[in-house]
Structure 1
Amino acid sequence: MPPTPPSTTSVGRFAPSPTGPLHFGSLLTAVGSYCLARQAGGLWLLRIEDLDIPRVVPGAADTILHTLDALALHWDGEILYQSRRSARYAEALALLENKGLIYGCACSRKEILASAPHPGEEGPIYPGLCRAGLPPGRRPRAWRLRVPARSVTLFDGVRGRQSQHLAEEVGDFVVRRADGLFAYQLAVVVDDADSGVTQVVRGQDLLTSTPRQIYLQECLGFPHPEYIHLPLALATDGKKICKRHGAVAVQPERGGPLIASALRFLGQPVPAELEQAPAAEVLRWGVAYFDLRLVPKESRPLSDKVPTWPS
């Protein structure tokens, strides 16, 4: 049975992947989601997204937890680990199968690339090769969700109205991978619903995934949370800051400046007198004054003045 969702009316969450230490791009999401959840008087939950086991770095989850604690980003309740929830994901997959919404797919990536009519933003659009049944002599490699020939629309807290035509822009998407692992799209939808999450704050790189998750929520009978996609911090190569660009220094005396830098990147006018304050004090300011209307709509390069990397 899934866990009982919290009874509070507002529940936010932070869901890092333990593929390395926390980096500034992830810290932006942590700070933004924390301030908005606390500002609403709600809970701030922590989920470790260790579903993709081959990419998990041993010890990374503990390092992330230590970093959050050092920066006064304290979460509520028990930590949810995706790697321990396979049985729950299997229940959701079985429900989709019983409704006739998923089907086995025998296609390899090479076959999809050869047959896809045109590429989408996140790769080839699945052309439906196995939608009517598996070819003779083929066994299913993955399981896909049938998508409707219509648009899914949402209102994002930063970028406003967003719409995606699932059939034309994505195609039937994978809910269980060829390696047997459950897909991110399915796991995150089940986790958010089971935890009672009402507010999802994350990076803009996940905005194109949201219509798929909304459709999955419809299929599974789950409510739709509020979505807020924050701008990304870009490195000098123009790509989003990630673990290859460095890790946040876990030094308590630098915690305040680091939190202040994250808030300022998100458009919040942190007073100069708080520049050297402890992390907890800067966070209290963020909770009291965070204004979603000030958050930039576009991602941009990270300033050299941000005290992010260890010296």
Structure 2
Amino acid sequence: MGELRGRFAPSPSGRMHLGNLFSGLLAWLSVRAAGGVMVLRMEDLDPDRCKEEYAAQLADDLRWLGLDWDEGYGKGGSHGPYRQSERTELYAAAFHALEGRGLIYPCFCTRAERLAASAPHRSDGQAVYSGKCRYLTPEQREELAQTRRPAWRLEVPDREVDFLDGVQGFFAENLLRDCGDFILRRSDGVYAYQLAVVYDDGAMAINQVVRGRDLLDSTPRQLYLYGLLGLTPPEFYHVPLLVAPDGRRLSKRERDLDMGALRQRFTPAELTGLLGYWAGQLDRPEPVTPAELAGRFDWSKVPQTDITVEGEW
């Protein structure tokens, strides 16, 4: 694989919270333990939710904890720009290349139509797109375009895609049955996460992706996109989520767990020790620096199942 190139790619749509930090720390530890290159990319595709003030605060929170980076936001590098909002022309080129091969089509379905009860659903309850607009005639598409701006979907084959995840093990998904044709560009013109993340990781030569387990089932469709775009896929490590006692995933809405509250409650070493304990790298929570933790980092000790955050820790 050569030199390890990892990344942390948060969305600057609010203050970073405990769950974001857990994934970010594991990505950093893996890179630093291997003497690799760490990249910080801002995934600010959504212009309505993502703001520069959040990006600047996020970078400050990482520095406070002791998580540095070699390329990316505020530093530059040879694979920039490192903000997705500045990479639109690159996504457009990839999009039009797929369009020229007849692999994408306009979808005029409303959100209500996509989530209709009659649509097939996966085991986790998410609707699988029915493929309704795939079979529209040119005349039908032209008529619908008079009143509605379409999103654009990638047509997927009836094919199983599998891979070996560094934490979760073997995972497979049938693209057509378990996912369906998926969106590459929204109806407002914003390029979708699936296209942007694949293009960026491929173009930035990222060869290890560490992220939350909630994105595990996105990986087969992303692997399919890597192949279509002629890009080399990375190795994937999908880490457990931090969840509340009732099973809810921690989110930015829970302000007592965001970095503003955490910085008042913990020192950087205390917070790192707590996260390191949850990640299986320490026998008990105790103050430790990220650099010290990197010296003993072991992927085999990271748990597969989600971690419940409760009590006073």
Give me the TM-score of the superposition, normalised by structure 1. Answer: 0.89
Is 2:165 the counterpart of 1:163?
A: no
Once structures 1 and 2 are overlaid, which stretch shifts more, 119-128 or 28-37? 119-128
Q: Which runs of 5+ in 2 are unaligned?
A: 74-81
User: Which digits, 9 at most, give the CA deviation of each residue in 1:15-71, with x for residues without a partner?
Assistant: 111111111101111110001011121101001111012222451111111100111
- Code of the residue aligned with 2:104 in structure 1: it is I
Distance 1:251 1:112, change over 3 A: closer
Is 2:217 the counterpart of 1:205?
A: no
User: Which digits, 9 at most, give the CA deviation of each residue in 1:91-141, with x for residues without a partner?
Assistant: 110111122111111221222334853223363211111213352511251
Give the corresponding residue for 2:119.
117
- Code of the residue aligned with 1:28 in structure 2: it is F
- Code of the residue aligned with 2:275 in structure 1: it is A
1:190 to 186, 199, 202: 199
1:297 to 284, 287, 304: 304
Do 1:70 and 1:252's aligned partners in 2 also have CA atoms closer than 8 Å? no
Residues 141-156 of structure 1 aligned to structure 2 (within 5 Å): 141-156=150-165
Once structures 1 and 2 are overlaid, which stretch shifts more, 162-171 or 54-63? 54-63
The CA deviation at 1:142 is 0.7
Give the corresponding residue for 1:102.
104
SS at match of 1:54: coil
* Aligned equivalents of 2:65, 2:265: Cα separation in 1: 7
* Aligned equivalents of 2:266, 2:113: Cα separation in 1: 54
Give me the TM-score of the superposition, normalised by structure 2. Answer: 0.88
The CA deviation at 1:224 is 1.2
Give the corresponding residue for 1:33.
27
Give the corresponding residue for 1:51.
45
Give the corresponding residue for 1:176.
185
Once structures 1 and 2 are overlaid, which stretch shifts more, 178-187 or 47-56? 47-56
2:277 to 264, 269, 286: 264
SS at match of 2:300: helix
Over the matched positions of the two proteins, sequence identity in percent amounts to: 39
Give the corresponding residue for 2:63.
69
Residues 248-259 of structure 1 aligned to structure 2 (within 5 Å): 248=259, 249-250=262-263, 254-259=267-272
- Code of the residue aligned with 1:22 in structure 2: it is M
Do 1:116 and 1:124's aligned partners in 2 also have CA atoms closer than 8 Å? no
Give the corresponding residue for 1:242.
251
* CA RMSD of superposed structures (Å): 2.0
* Aligned equivalents of 1:155, 1:305: Cα separation in 2: 36
Distance 1:253 1:111, change over 3 A: closer
Distance 1:92 1:115, change over 3 A: farther
* Aligned equivalents of 1:72, 1:234: Cα separation in 2: 24
User: Which digits, 9 at most, give the CA deviation of each residue in 1:141-175, with x for residues without a partner?
Assistant: 11100111011101111110000111001100000
* Aligned equivalents of 2:246, 2:92: Cα separation in 1: 40
SS at match of 1:155: strand
SS at match of 2:250: coil
2:144 to 138, 144, 155: 138
Matched pairs, number: 294
Q: Which runs of 5+ in 1 are unaligned?
A: 1-6, 307-311
Which 4+ residue blocks in structure 1 deviate beyond 6 angstroms?
A: none
* Aligned equivalents of 1:17, 1:57: Cα separation in 2: 9
Once structures 1 and 2 are overlaid, which stretch shifts more, 29-38 or 114-123? 114-123
Distance 1:58 1:122, change over 3 A: farther
